[in-house]
Amino acid sequence: MAESATLIAPHGAAQLKPLYVSDPARHSSLSAMAAQLTSVVISSAAAGNAVMLGGGYFTPLAGYMNKADALSVAHSMTTTDGLFWPTPVLNLVSDASGLSVGQEISLLDPNVDGSPVLAVQRIDAIEEFSDAEMHEIATQVYGTTDSEHPGVKEFLSQGNVAISGTIEVLNYSYFETDFPGTFRTAVQIREDIARMGWRRIVAFQTRNPMHRAHEELCRMAMERLDADGLVIHMLLGKLKPGDIPASVREAAIGKMVEVYFPENSALITGYGFDMLYAGPREALLHALFRQNMGATHFIIGRDHAGVGDYYEPFEAQEIFDNIPGGALKIELFKADHTAYSKKLNKVVMMREAPDHSKDDFVLLSGTAVREMLGNGIAPPAEFSRPEVAEILMEHYRI
């Protein structure tokens, strides 16, 4: 697959390494073979890893990590052969009896009715983590072993037996069918960027609808970086209870871009992965796969990929200052908390308005906004565009 010379290089490779089987003949024969193989219903997390490997987002990985690589990544953010990688990419199960090294198995999708074949894996190793090792990984990656942390709870629920090895991906789970206008692989986004002729590209991660502050933050980043385009990249996988469904976010963000962004300045895209809520470590992973999809710059704001009070507000920015030089080629746009200034009549980064008091900003908590929407009350125009608020109110009315 040829890469445009103007695009940023993928991570750890000269070109993307998508593991989706794109050759029709190979896809057909592998699908037929998969139906005869021993099958394993994998976890949602492992399925998300397969989708990301398939789409090239996890270049240059060839499959699921073994125990040594997972422990090395947890402790030092590098694989045993020195590749920078911030979070383990695993296929964890609770029971691998009946499986053997060298065997090929079908990986069945837990997120689609009937559990169809998602990928075929060749087993290179079957290794068990002790409870102490599982908790050590959780401590290093999530910063806690607290079972109330949604990422830790999910990680520790998958089982402690790692099935490592290369995979060939046969489909993109429910993401292609449920989000046909939004789901994009890293390969497709690079093609879109090349077609648009963009050279400086800002990526914005979101698992929520975008309010005025998010919108203006993207606009600020584009202006200050002299960027050609913006890629709004929505997480389409599993969230925590209470988060707004991806279909509603998709509609709200689409309306915002349609009305308030210049034509051909922003791409609305999505990726198939479950949220880890791993704060700083996940911020690094987000930057890595945004580099793989072709972005040159990535916005990291307050409490990126965080949950509750597990991480300091700007810990996800600070971790980038502590990784080896050259570990990632993508550059950061470090953002402060943004809010609407009643004094200036515009959205600003709060650190850039030192003459303001708290009362000079329109500050609304997520809980307050959800209560307003649930009661059919539109948030103030300084907080949410009316077209966006209407879509969200409709969701809460249902």
Q: Would you say 140 and 152 are in contact if contact means Cβ atoms under 8 Å apart?
A: no
Catalytic residue check, 111: no
Q: Which of 122, 199, 200, 207 is catalytic?
A: 207
Please report, in angstroms and rounded to a whole number, the separation of the first and last CA atoms in the chain: 46
User: Which residue in the block uniquely carries the two structure tokens 């988060």?
Assistant: 243
User: Which residue in the block uniquely carries the two structure tokens 């502590």?
Assistant: 322
Residues 6+ apart with CB under 8 A from 15: 1, 2, 3
Q: Would you say 4 and 152 are in contact if contact means Cβ atoms under 8 Å apart?
A: no
The two structure tokens encoding residue 99: 């499986």
Report the C-alpha gap between 264 and 183 in whole angstroms: 18
What letter does residue 175 receive in the DSSP assignment? H
Report the C-alpha gap between 121 and 34 in whole angstroms: 10
Q: Which amino acid is at 132?
A: A
Report the C-alpha gap between 24 and 53 in whole angstroms: 19
Q: Which amino acid is at 348?
A: V
Report the C-alpha gap between 149 and 159 in whole angstroms: 17
Sequence-ordered alpha helix ranges (H) in 263-320: 280-292, 315-318
Catalytic residue check, 208: yes
Residues 6+ apart with CB under 8 A from 212: 340, 347, 382, 383, 384, 385
Phi and psi for 383 in degrees, rounded to 5?
-100, -40
The closest of 6, 90, 1, 86 to 44, measured between CA atoms, is: 90
User: Which residue in the block uniquely carries the two structure tokens 């103007």?
Assistant: 6
Phi-psi region of 45 (alpha: psi -120 to 50; beta: other; left: phi over 0): alpha
The two structure tokens encoding residue 186: 């890293």
Q: Which of 208, 281, 292, 322 is catalytic?
A: 208
Kindly report the length of the chain: 398
Report the C-alpha gap between 208 and 236 in whole angstroms: 10
Residues forming the active site? 207-208
